[in-house]
Chains A and B, each alone.
Chain A
């Protein structure tokens, strides 16, 4: 069974940093591209970032480019999102999602990031 478990969400002050993690199991993690997708309270889904299976390619939404960094450790079956210079517009539930045929298929349960003073 595919499982994705996010962690690291927390309350952080504007301008602060946070690192999210996603632990994957139930599939060959190193064979799949991965995404981070977020959902602000009461809003729709917003793609944040993508990383290829070998980490050779990474893409970012314009809203986070230059502030967020996606990475992975295939030996640890883990995906990460380093978030810097956070603003209240980054407040959201952040989902880790496996990528298949260019789009997410399996999703984690999400981790809440709240940016507030």
Chain B
């Protein structure tokens, strides 16, 4: 059971906008910023969003992040077939003294 809660799956059609939620608590999301990662099959996770809503260089602006209270969200607009991979949220937990991850969301492009 992951400390951060993500829906195990999400879906959308090409061109559509989808959002993936990440729910935590006051000791993690409530007091620290959130990162989002994209993981293609058989490869290492890649940083997609950092500090709640910042995109690293090279990440398309179709990807955006937000945070409110103890929850965060990843939004993907203009959905493309190549977006059909796994997404994870993560933050630091002040009570556990460690990084906590969501369980991951598998995105399906219908």
Name A's B-contacting residues (CB within 8 A).
35, 37, 44-47, 50, 59-61, 95, 100-110
CA distance A105 to B57 in the complex (A): 12
| Chain A binding surface SS class | strand
Residue of A nearest to B103 (CB): A44
Q: Quick check: is B65 within 8 A (CB to CB) of the other chain?
A: no
B44 contacts A103, C-beta separation under 8 Å: no
A108 contacts B44, C-beta separation under 8 Å: yes
Q: Give 1 or 0 for each of B43-55: 1 = CB within 8 Å of chain A CB.
A: 1111100110000
Assuming the contacts A45-B88, A106-B47, A109-B44, asked whether A50 and B98 have C-beta atoms less than 8 A apart, the reply is: yes
Q: Quick check: is B107 within 8 A (CB to CB) of the other chain?
A: no
Residue in B35, B39, B43, B103 whose CB lies within 8 Å of A103:
B35
CA distance A40 to B97 in the complex (A): 22
Q: How many A-B residue pairs have CB under 8 A?
A: 65
A105 contacts B47, C-beta separation under 8 Å: yes
Name B's A-contacting residues (CB within 8 A).
2, 32-33, 35, 37, 39, 43-47, 50-51, 56, 88, 90-92, 97-104
- Between-chain CB contacts (< 8 Å), 6 pairs: A44-B101, A45-B45, A102-B33, A104-B99, A109-B44, A110-B44
Query: Which residues of A lie under 8 Å from residue B32 when comparing CB positions?
Result: 102
Query: Which residues of B lie under 8 Å from residue A100 when comparing CB positions?
Result: 50
B104 contacts A47, C-beta separation under 8 Å: no
Residue in B39, B56, B97 whose CB lies within 8 Å of A59:
B97
B90 contacts A61, C-beta separation under 8 Å: no
Expressed in whole angstroms, the minimum distance between the Cβ of A109 and any Cβ of chain B is 6
Expressed in whole angstroms, the minimum distance between the Cβ of B102 and any Cβ of chain A is 8
B44 contacts A107, C-beta separation under 8 Å: yes
Query: Which residues of A lie under 8 Å from residue B46 when comparing CB positions?
Result: 107
Expressed in whole angstroms, the minimum distance between the Cβ of A104 and any Cβ of chain B is 7
Query: Which residues of A lie under 8 Å from residue B99 when comparing CB positions?
Result: 35, 37, 47, 50, 102-104
Expressed in whole angstroms, the minimum distance between the Cβ of A43 and any Cβ of chain B is 8
